[in-house]
Structure 1
Amino acid sequence: MTTLISRRAAVAGMLSAFLFGAVGSASAAEPLRVATNAVFPPFEFYDSKTGGMQGYEIDLIKAMAEAMGRELKLEQMGFDAIIPAIISGTIDAGASGFSITPERGKRVNFTMPFYQSGLTILVAKGSEGAIKGFDDLKGKKISVQIGTTSQTFAKKIEGAEVSTFNNAGDAILNLVGGNCDAVINDKPVTDYILSQNKSLAEKTVHLPVLATADNFAMVTAKNNKALCDKMNAAMKKLKADGTFDKIYQKWFGRAPEPELLQ
């Protein structure tokens, strides 16, 4: 009887170990659910030919997921809906050009930075004499992308009338249409849009002044530091083996700042 009980216990233990291992494997193989707002070139946007998502941050999160041994599941959603979705657990992380800010830091965890940016001004050609910097935007009509640091900054300009748009491209079209005096937007995005559209470039002037220096990072839920740590470990691996540098060079045509490689 004792032997039978022992055998049953052993079988039960083996079954338990098998089930636990299966569950553990399934958990490890669960897709990494990442939300993005793919209207932010060159970080994330749709390829007009293939219909797929592409961009610097898209390439980076794909490489990170591979380094983590996770299948990547990208989901498109509105920029201002991403953080609420992370908090609710609908998705695991956000990769959509998030600037690191104290306010956002109260709600989410940030990975290590992967890009250094800044806010710049775009004006219609011929207006650069009247608008040379941010002090000249007082009382002006300004267009920005909704939910971004550009919107936050513009609202602080004395007497400014701020109009919001779903993406930076629409904000620039509003400028070209003569409906505002300037667009405040992230420098790399404005540069990329103008490089891809000669007509817009010919009708506008991108002023060289920088208002802020922003660090971009991906975000996870405040209660999911473990995932944030794993994403950081993956990014460190990509920096160490040269993959990070290769992806950066592909989209910006130059090496990343030394601070980003630390």
Structure 2
Amino acid sequence: MLAAACHGRVRAPGELVIGSSPTGVPFSFVDPATNALTGAIVDIASSVARTMALSPDLRITPFSALIPSLVAGKIDMIAAALLRTPEREKIVAFSRPVYAYEGALVVRAGDRRAYPDLAAARGLRIGGQIGTRFIDQLHAAGVADVSTYENLSDLLRDLDHGRIDAGYGDAPILRYQLRVGPRRAVRIVPGFTAPAREELCLVMRKGDMLLPQVDRAIERLLPRRIPEIARHWQLEEAA
């Protein structure tokens, strides 16, 4: 058996333990009908594991606990909307990208002002998901009043109730939640340009010998299977 980076738990032959957050619709979430993890990045990670002839063992892990769980050896891979950042690259290893997208700015429906970028929204009370790249972008743009949330669903609820003026976060997640979630009097700002296009990768421990195999599996899946998954979860509009 392969040791999980000297952290006690042992990776069984043929097994890949994948941690995924339960609130990142459409990338990773718990299906209320089955109580099982599902979503675009979950499907991608499962396909990667099977391409490597490994059995995916999916574990529900809160977003804020993903990296600590990986480093501690409780899971072997992170499959979630956890974007690559220089700070995270010091702690964990990222695969080649499987998808890329930007942030979206969402405001109440009655706010018809133009917000071409984050700088134009500096005077607003803006919410973002704690621990995400988008909080960094808000601070870098000079937004002084930032409220943090555990998930974007709570952010949209507070925006709808007037507790914040705007929200900023993963464009595919915000679009999906506004499309299929509770009806809210909010809108995604058209014509908004995010400061960067972020890369979505699978995440593993530094030095994990499986990482090169993961990259090769992704390369095999990129031409057809990964685009099929993106279409299934209606991610194309954020591409």
Normalised-by-shorter TM-score class: 0.7 to 0.9
Structure-2 residue corresponding to 1:125: 109
- Corresponding letter in the other structure for 1:220: M
CA distance in 2, matches of 1:255, 1:141: 27
Q: CA deviation at 1:170?
A: 0.5
Aligned partner of 2:27 among 43, 55, 76? 43
RMSD after superposition: 2.3
Of the candidates 59, 69, 78, which is equivalent to residue 85 of structure 1? 69
Q: TM-score, normalised by structure 2?
A: 0.88
* 1:84-123 equivalence runs, <5 A: 84-123=68-107
Alignment map for 1:98-177 (pairs within 5 Å): 98-129=82-113, 131=115, 133-158=117-142, 160-177=144-161
Whether the 8 Å CA contact 2:119–2:142 is kept in 1: the answer is no
Worse-matched range after superposition: 206-215 or 248-257: 248-257
The aligned residue for residue 244 of structure 1 is 226
Shift of 1:88: 2.0
Relative to 1, partners in 2 of residues 1:238 and 1:178: Cα closer, same or farther, differing over 3 Å?
same
1:16-43 superposed Cα distances (whole Å, 9 cap, x missing partner): xxxxxxx69x977342011111211111
Structure 1 residue 193 and structure 2 residue 198: aligned?
no
Work out the number of aligned pairs and report it.
Answer: 230
Runs of at least 4 residues of structure 1 off by over 4 A? 253-257
Q: 1:75 to 1:65 in 2, by over 3 A?
A: same
Q: Which amino acid aligns with 1:73?
A: D
C-alpha separation in 1, matches of 2:101 and 2:198: 5
Q: Which SS does the other structure have where 1:74 is aligned? A: strand
Of residues 213, 221, 232 in structure 1, which corresponds to 2:215? 232
> In the alignment, which residue of structure 2 is the partner of 1:207?
189
8 Å CA contact 1:139–1:158 kept in 2: the answer is no
Structure with higher Rg: it is: 1
Query: For the structure 1 residues 253 and 119, does the alpha-carbon distance in structure 2 shift closer, same or farther, using more than 3 Å as the test?
Result: closer
Asked if the contact 1:31/1:70 (under 8 Å) is kept, the reply is yes
Cα drift, residue 78 of structure 1 = 1.8
Question: Secondary structure of 1:154's partner?
Answer: helix
Instruction: Give per-residue Cα distances to partners, 1:55-90, cap 9 Å, x unaligned.
Output: 111111111111111111111122121112222222
Task: Tell me, in whole angstroms, the C-alpha distance in 1 between the residues paired with 2:70 and 2:129.
Answer: 21
- Displacement of 1:130 in angstroms is 6.3
Structure 1 SS opposite 2:222: helix
Instruction: Measure how far apart 1:243 and its partner are.
Output: 1.8
Q: What is the one-letter code of the residue matched to 1:237?
A: R
Q: What's the CA shift for 1:171?
A: 0.6
CA distance in 2, matches of 1:37, 1:125: 29
Note if 1:62 corresponds to 2:46: yes
| Identity percentage of aligned residues | 27
Q: Shift of the alpha carbon at 1:159?
A: 5.1
| Partner in structure 1 of residue 6 of structure 2 | none
Change (3 A) 1:86 1:198: closer
Question: How far apart in 2 are the matches of 1:176 and 1:124?
Answer: 6
State the distance in 1 between where 2:17 and 2:33 align: 25
Q: Which 5+ residue runs of structure 1 have no aligned equivalent?
A: 1-22, 258-262
Higher deviation after alignment, 124-133 or 226-235? 124-133
Greater share of helix residues, 1 or 2?
1
| Unmatched runs of 5 consecutive residues or more in structure 2 | 3-9
